[in-house]
């Protein structure tokens, strides 16, 4: 082990770090933060912003801490008067190319550039402004781009091209005219954008933000004609707290229910309920395909709308492999406007359903196909991201930390541990296997086998073989689109060679980490944060008495009262959808 460590000094203090650690990270490890606007924990260094320069004894230059690995014997100075002045100048130069519109910006108060300007005590525009007039792109309804605010750090382009392999965003032109723009200089809606929102999650400024729909929700809540109900997605409960000073991963579902009631929602549902419902349909579908040979294998999960969009654009040869089960958001929406409305005596035409999601693509899913109107109305009316919900709560004057715990409404509010882990990569797979096992064997997995550990964690592609009554079921879990491509390629190659497919079941989530790392979650994403949020969900699963979707009494009730059985005609009509090949570029 010793030989894999390097030793150096930072600001006179000895540091030790594994070979390959950047000076930036090594310094952070010793309690020193070196400023940067381009380096993101998720991404390799692009070395664009120039703020993280440091001095190394004997080196005439000032290398960037983000890209320079710590080496034995280095004597590093990270902060001194000269470095601060140079950084200040760089920052002032960046600011001269950025509008002073903080007050009307989506990132006001939570902006990396604004924070640095405050830390450096910038009090005037040292250099005259140069901010060319570029129209905003609000074309796709999920995320909006204000090109004027872009500081060309390159994070969004890196994440879109390298992590997601979507290539919806790119840099055009060069020099001072360099600009970030959707592929081929078209609008975002015409581009291959899958609305995952990872660009927004990684943007240090307000250049890319979610389409804010809090006003629409306020208007609905205000409208006496409307009956407003709401659902919250699994991963929201372990992330929202970050906006209110809670440690990451704190599960606040009960308090969120209370907040939503105080905001004026008449019914508060939990998307976890619908996650259990999705599992019932999807696991049934899987068993049909696996055991009865009805349909293509592998079965591929479809509850991530960004992934669905990606598949329709780039992998439509896999349409037949897609689970036709709708996502939990859409299942809950349609159940709210049919089953619940009927039970509660609410006119579905008046019923206004809001979903709270970790995700920008969920906004797009609302009108994705005709099947999203299965209730006869738009099944879910508005999607708010976790960040928007935080704003909504702040706008309402509710002091979140002082709320009591409350319960969700019973009909669409109960959930199993399987439902809650939907919010993390591997969770859908684990939940489906728990129920699939039951469908095949008639029994639950033994207590010591209910947690399917190989599909957990942040590894980009996770593979596992699970024994289901003597049948080895090969599964793969991928998150981050570039990882998904690798898995699908493997399947394609096996097909081409006429071999047995490498997997029976594949789970896909577009965002790294799954929904807990979604594009609509509180800012500052990193693997550390993903782990904490993930931990929050697994903890809840662990603590639940009921770990399997099919054991959820609410689910049993809805099938007996309303849906008959998984895959029934009614279930097909309300809970399933279709896919079609789409053009990646509309222009």
Told to check if 18 binds another protein by CB under 8 A, we report no
Three-class DSSP category at 240: helix
Give min distance, CB of 329 to another protein, in A: 29
User: In this complex, which beta carbon is closest to another protein, that of residue 171 or of residue 562?
Assistant: 171
- Number of Cβ atoms within 10 Å of the Cβ of 134: 14
Cα 450 from Cα 306, distance rounded (Å): 29
Check: CB of residue 364 under 8 Å from CB of residue 142: yes
Check: CB of residue 87 under 8 Å from CB of residue 51: yes
Which residue stretch of 65-73, 196-204, 246-254, 338-346 sits at the interface with another protein (rule: CB under 8 A)? 65-73
According to CB under 8 A, which one of 18, 73, 108, 127 is a site residue for another protein? 127
Told to check if 126 binds another protein by CB under 8 A, we report yes
Told to check if 274 binds another protein by CB under 8 A, we report no
Three-class DSSP category at 354: strand
User: In this complex, which beta carbon is closest to another protein, that of residue 160 or of residue 303?
Assistant: 160
According to CB under 8 A, which one of 147, 171, 246, 373 is a site residue for another protein? 171
Cα 43 from Cα 526, distance rounded (Å): 10
According to CB under 8 A, which one of 12, 109, 128, 224 is a site residue for another protein? 128
Closest CA to 5 of 60, 69, 79: 69
User: In this complex, which beta carbon is closest to another protein, that of residue 343 or of residue 587?
Assistant: 587
If phi > 0 it is left, if psi is from -120 to 50 it is alpha, else beta; for residue 142 that is: alpha
Binding mask 548-577 for another protein (x = CB under 8 A): ------------------------------
3-state secondary structure labels for all residues of 510-548: CCCCCHHHCCCCCCCCCHHHHHHHHHHHHHHHHHCCCCC
Cα 232 from Cα 406, distance rounded (Å): 14
Q: How far apart are the first and last CA of the chain?
A: 55
Check: CB of residue 295 under 8 Å from CB of residue 289: yes
Cα 7 from Cα 449, distance rounded (Å): 44
According to CB under 8 A, which one of 10, 15, 26, 47 is a site residue for another protein? 47
Q: Please report, for residues 287, 389, 561, the alpha-carbon distance to residue 398 in angstroms, rounded to integers and kept in the order given.
A: 46, 12, 37
Told to check if 580 binds another protein by CB under 8 A, we report no
Give min distance, CB of 414 to another protein, in A: 45
According to CB under 8 A, which one of 51, 263, 403, 555 is a site residue for another protein? 51
Check: CB of residue 158 under 8 Å from CB of residue 167: no
According to CB under 8 A, which one of 25, 112, 167, 324 is a site residue for another protein? 167
Told to check if 121 binds another protein by CB under 8 A, we report no
Query: Please, what is the angle between helix 386-395 and helix 214-222, to 10°?
Result: 50
Binding mask 181-210 for another protein (x = CB under 8 A): -xxxx-----xx------------------
According to CB under 8 A, which one of 59, 89, 441, 471 is a site residue for another protein? 89
Told to check if 66 binds another protein by CB under 8 A, we report yes
Give min distance, CB of 46 to another protein, in A: 8
Check: CB of residue 392 under 8 Å from CB of residue 217: yes
Told to check if 175 binds another protein by CB under 8 A, we report yes
Told to check if 479 binds another protein by CB under 8 A, we report no
According to CB under 8 A, which one of 30, 77, 96, 444 is a site residue for another protein? 96
Which residue stretch of 179-187, 446-454, 482-490, 563-571 sits at the interface with another protein (rule: CB under 8 A)? 179-187
According to CB under 8 A, which one of 156, 169, 335, 509 is a site residue for another protein? 169
Which residue stretch of 101-109, 173-181, 265-273, 325-333 sits at the interface with another protein (rule: CB under 8 A)? 173-181
Which residue stretch of 82-90, 373-381, 399-407, 440-448 sits at the interface with another protein (rule: CB under 8 A)? 82-90
User: In this complex, which beta carbon is closest to another protein, that of residue 157 or of residue 555?
Assistant: 157
Closest CA to 263 of 358, 403, 379: 403
Told to check if 224 binds another protein by CB under 8 A, we report no
Told to check if 467 binds another protein by CB under 8 A, we report no
User: In this complex, which beta carbon is closest to another protein, that of residue 86 or of residue 346?
Assistant: 86
Widest Cα–Cα separation across the chain: 78
According to CB under 8 A, which one of 17, 34, 53, 450 is a site residue for another protein? 53
Specify the pairing of strand 461-468 against strand 299-300: unpaired
User: In this complex, which beta carbon is closest to another protein, that of residue 176 or of residue 399?
Assistant: 176
Beta carbons within 8 Å of 292's beta carbon, 6+ residues apart = none
User: In this complex, which beta carbon is closest to another protein, that of residue 69 or of residue 141?
Assistant: 69
Structure tokens at 471: 């049948």
Cα 412 from Cα 18, distance rounded (Å): 50
Give min distance, CB of 51 to another protein, in A: 8
Told to check if 138 binds another protein by CB under 8 A, we report no
If phi > 0 it is left, if psi is from -120 to 50 it is alpha, else beta; for residue 401 that is: alpha
User: In this complex, which beta carbon is closest to another protein, that of residue 70 or of residue 366?
Assistant: 70
In the range 296-315, which residues lie near another protein by CB under 8 A?
A: none
- Binders of another protein: how many residues, by CB under 8 A? 51
User: In this complex, which beta carbon is closest to another protein, that of residue 95 or of residue 421?
Assistant: 95
User: In this complex, which beta carbon is closest to another protein, that of residue 182 or of residue 249?
Assistant: 182
Beta carbons within 8 Å of 401's beta carbon, 6+ residues apart = 244, 245
Told to check if 143 binds another protein by CB under 8 A, we report no
Cα 580 from Cα 583, distance rounded (Å): 10
Told to check if 582 binds another protein by CB under 8 A, we report no
User: In this complex, which beta carbon is closest to another protein, that of residue 306 or of residue 356?
Assistant: 306
Told to check if 161 binds another protein by CB under 8 A, we report yes
Task: Dihedral sign for Cα 431, 436, 439, 440, please.
Answer: negative
Cα 502 from Cα 487, distance rounded (Å): 9
Q: Which residues are catalytic?
A: 282, 285, 303, 323, 362, 365, 371, 515
Residues in the chain, total: 587
Cα 454 from Cα 408, distance rounded (Å): 32
Positions that interact with another protein (CB under 8 A):
45-51, 53, 61-62, 64, 66-69, 85-87, 89-90, 93-94, 96-97, 126-128, 130, 151-152, 154, 161, 167-178, 182-185, 191-192, 585
């Amino acid at each position: 082990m010793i030989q894999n460590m390097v030793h150096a000094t930072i600001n006179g203090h000895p540091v030790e770090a594994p070979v390959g650690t950047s000076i930036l990270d090594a310094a952070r490890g010793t309690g020193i933060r070196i400023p940067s606007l381009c380096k993101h924990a998720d991404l390799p260094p692009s070395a664009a912003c120039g703020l993280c320069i440091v001095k190394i004894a004997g080196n005439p230059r000032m290398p960037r801490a983000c890209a320079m690995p710590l080496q034995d014997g280095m004597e590093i100075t990270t902060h001194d008067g000269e470095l601060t002045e140079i950084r200040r100048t760089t920052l002032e130069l960046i600011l001269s190319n950025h509008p002073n519109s903080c007050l009307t910006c989506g990132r006001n108060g939570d902006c990396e550039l604004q924070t640095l300007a405050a830390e450096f005590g910038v009090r005037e525009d040292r250099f005259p402004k140069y901010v060319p007039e570029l129209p905003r792109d609000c074309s796709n309804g999920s995320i909006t781009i204000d090109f004027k605010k872009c500081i060309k750090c390159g994070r969004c382009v890196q994440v879109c091209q390298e992590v997601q392999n979507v290539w919806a965003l790119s840099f055009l032109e060069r020099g001072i005219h360099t600009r970030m723009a959707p592929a081929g200089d078209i609008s975002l809606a015409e581009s291959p954008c899958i609305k995952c929102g990872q660009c927004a999650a990684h943007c240090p400024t307000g250049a890319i933000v979610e389409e804010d729909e809090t006003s629409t929700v306020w208007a609905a809540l205000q409208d006496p004609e409307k009956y407003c109900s709401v659902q919250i997605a699994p991963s929201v409960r372990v992330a929202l707290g970050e906006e209110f000073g809670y440690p990451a991963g704190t599960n606040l579902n009960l308090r969120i229910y209370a907040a939503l009631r105080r905001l004026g929602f008449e019914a508060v549902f939990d998307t976890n309920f619908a996650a259990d419902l999705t599992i019932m349909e999807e696991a049934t579908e899987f068993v049909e395909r696996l055991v009865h040979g009805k349909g293509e294998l592998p079965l591929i999960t479809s509850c991530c709308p960004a992934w669905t969009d990606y598949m329709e654009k780039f992998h439509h040869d896999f349409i037949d492999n897609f689970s036709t089960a709708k996502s939990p958001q859409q299942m809950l929406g349609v159940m709210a406007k049919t089953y619940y409305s009927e039970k509660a005596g609410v006119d579905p035409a008046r019923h206004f359903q809001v979903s709270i999601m970790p995700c920008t693509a969920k906004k797009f899913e609302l009108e994705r196909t005709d099947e999203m109107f299965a209730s006869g109305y738009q099944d879910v009316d508005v999607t708010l991201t976790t960040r928007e919900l935080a704003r909504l709560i702040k706008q309402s004057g509710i002091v979140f930390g002082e709320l009591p715990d409350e319960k969700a409404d019973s009909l669409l509010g109960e959930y199993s541990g399987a439902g809650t882990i939907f919010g993390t990569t591997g969770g859908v797979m684990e939940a489906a296997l728990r129920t699939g096992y039951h469908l095949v064997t008639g029994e639950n997995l033994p207590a010591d086998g209910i947690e399917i550990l190989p599909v957990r964690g942040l590894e980009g592609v996770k593979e596992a073989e699970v024994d289901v009554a003597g049948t080895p079921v090969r599964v793969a879990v991928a998150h981050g689109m570039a990882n998904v491509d690798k898995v699908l390629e493997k399947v394609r190659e096996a097909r081409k060679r006429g071999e047995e497919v490498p997997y029976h079941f594949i789970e896909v989530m577009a965002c790294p980490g799954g929904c807990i790392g979604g594009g609509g979650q509180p800012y500052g994403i990193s693997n550390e944060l993903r782990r904490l949020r993930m931990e929050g969900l697994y903890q809840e699963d662990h603590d639940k008495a009921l770990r399997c979707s099919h054991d959820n009494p609410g689910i049993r009730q809805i099938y007996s009262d309303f849906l008959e059985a998984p895959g029934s005609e009614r279930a097909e009509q309300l809970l399933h959808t279709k896919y079609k090949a789409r053009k990646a570029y509309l222009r």
